[in-house]
Structure 1
Amino acid sequence: MAFVEFRDVSKIYQMGEVEVAAVRAMNFTIEQGEFVVIVGPSGAGKTTLLNMLGGMDRCTSGTILLDGNAVSSYNRKQLTYYRRYDIGFVFQFYNLVQNLTARENVELASQICKNPLDADATLDAVGLADRKRNFPGQLSGGEQQRVAIARALAKNPKLLLCDEPTGALDYQTGKAILKLLQDTCASTGKTVVVVTHNTAFTAIANRVIHVREGSVAAVEVNENPLSAEVLEW
């Protein structure tokens, strides 16, 4: 059985008397330990897909499985536990607590988990050994995103979900963040899913899921992904 599986998953929003299908009968699988890129234009359904996989939104129909468990059938309490223990989130705009230091931001996530990783060791791993006592306002955009990644990793989640993680960063910093995510996947065996509109990112993925107009247009498995260090866009 695949680690992640979408079986005929749809998400329909009711806008007054009009039904809007954000996701239509999606089917795909993801294997454990893969670095996955979900790519498509704005409005294709990428973030809706990610929100359903992360337990932040429910599907209208279909089945979502993670590690053999039917996430799509969880009740509200089960979804809270799922988000807390199984999922790590990295967003485009960091979402750090501004009056907490880098270490305190990471510790905040560690405190709600069953088997958290050490906050200092996790910050060391993302290259912030000398920035732990700094507040977000004292850090560059790339450093803030590294804190956000450390915070997500410190939860020791089964799955790391990244929604346009380089969208607010310059070119070189964006490449560094992609390299960090790629290296994290390789060194820890975590399954990492990156959502992006940038088709260049597909070259570094083990698996690419192309999304268009709410549907999966194609799935590619890349036997020889490039290193993010040589990626250009």
Structure 2
Amino acid sequence: MAFVTFENVGKVYKTGDVEVRALHNVSFKIEKGEICVVVGQSGAGKTTLLNILGGMDTLTEGHVLLDGRDISTLNEKQMATYRRFDIGFVFQFYNLIPNLTAVENVEIASQLSKDPLDSMAVMKQVGLADRALNFPAQLSGGEQQRVAIARALAKNPKLLLCDEPTGALDYETGKAILKLLQDTCRKSGMTVVIITHNSALTAMADRVVKIKNGTVASVSINENPESIENIEW
């Protein structure tokens, strides 16, 4: 059984009498330990898809399964538990708490988890052991995003969801962040989903899901994913 399964997922937003269909009949699978890149233009439905998978939004029709569990049937309390224990989030903007040090930001996430990783060990993993006691304002954008990744990893989640994780970073820093995500996935066997509009990043993925106008245009498997160092855009 696949680790992540979307079955005929639809999402309709209603504003008064107006209905907007964000997703229509979306079906795909992701295997455990894969890097899956979900690619599409702005407004294609990528973030809606990610929010449904992450338990931050509900679907209108269909089913979403993670590790054999149908998350589309969960109530609000169960959904909060799912977000807390099973999912790590990395966003375009780092969302760090400014009056906590880098390692304290990571510790907050590990305190929310059943089976957390050691905060300092994760800081070391992302290359920031020597910046652990700095506050976010004392860190560069790339360093702040590394802290955000460390915070997500410290929860030891089943699934790491990244929404345009390099969107606020320059080219070289963005590549370093993607290399960190790629290396982490390979070493730990964690399943990683990266949302992007940059089709060059599909070369780093095990699986590529192309979204167009709220539906799946194609799903493809890379037999030989490229190391991020070898990808130019």
Q: Which moved more, 1:9-18 or 1:83-92?
A: 9-18
Partners in 2 of 1:78 and 1:18 — Cα distance? 30
Q: Give the aligned partner of residue 2 of structure 2.
A: 2
Q: 1:55 deviation in Å? A: 0.2
Q: Give the aligned partner of residue 18 of structure 1.
A: 18
Q: 1:230 deviation in Å? A: 1.4
Query: Once the two structures are superposed, what CA deviation does each residue of 1:96-146 show, in whole Å capped at 9, x if it has no partner?
Result: 001100000000001111000000000000000100000000000000000
Gaps of 5+ in 1: none
What is the TM-score normalised by the length of structure 1? 0.99
Q: Give the aligned partner of residue 61 of structure 1.
A: 61
Write out the 4+ residue segments of structure 1 that deviate beyond 4 Å after TM superposition: none
Q: Give the aligned partner of residue 160 of structure 1.
A: 160
Partners in 1 of 2:26 and 2:80 — Cα distance? 24
Partners in 2 of 1:35 and 1:109 — Cα distance? 23
Partners in 2 of 1:97 and 1:23 — Cα distance? 33
Q: Give the aligned partner of residue 177 of structure 1.
A: 177
Partners in 1 of 2:62 and 2:95 — Cα distance? 31
Task: Determine helix, strand or coil for the equivalent of 1:32.
Answer: coil
Q: Give the aligned partner of residue 117 of structure 1.
A: 117
Q: Give the aligned partner of residue 195 of structure 2.
A: 195
Partners in 2 of 1:112 and 1:195 — Cα distance? 25
Query: Once the two structures are superposed, what CA deviation does each residue of 1:16-60 show, in whole Å capped at 9, x if it has no partner?
Result: 211100000100000000011000000000000000000000000
Sequence identity percentage:
67
Q: Give the aligned partner of residue 73 of structure 1.
A: 73
Q: 1:229 deviation in Å? A: 1.0
Note the 1:89-108 alignment, pairs <5 A.
89-108=89-108
Partners in 1 of 2:80 and 2:156 — Cα distance? 16
Task: Determine helix, strand or coil for the equivalent of 2:165.
Answer: coil
Number of residue-to-residue matches in the alignment: 233
Q: Give the aligned partner of residue 135 of structure 2.
A: 135
Query: Once the two structures are superposed, what CA deviation does each residue of 1:195-216 show, in whole Å capped at 9, x if it has no partner?
Result: 0000000000000000000000
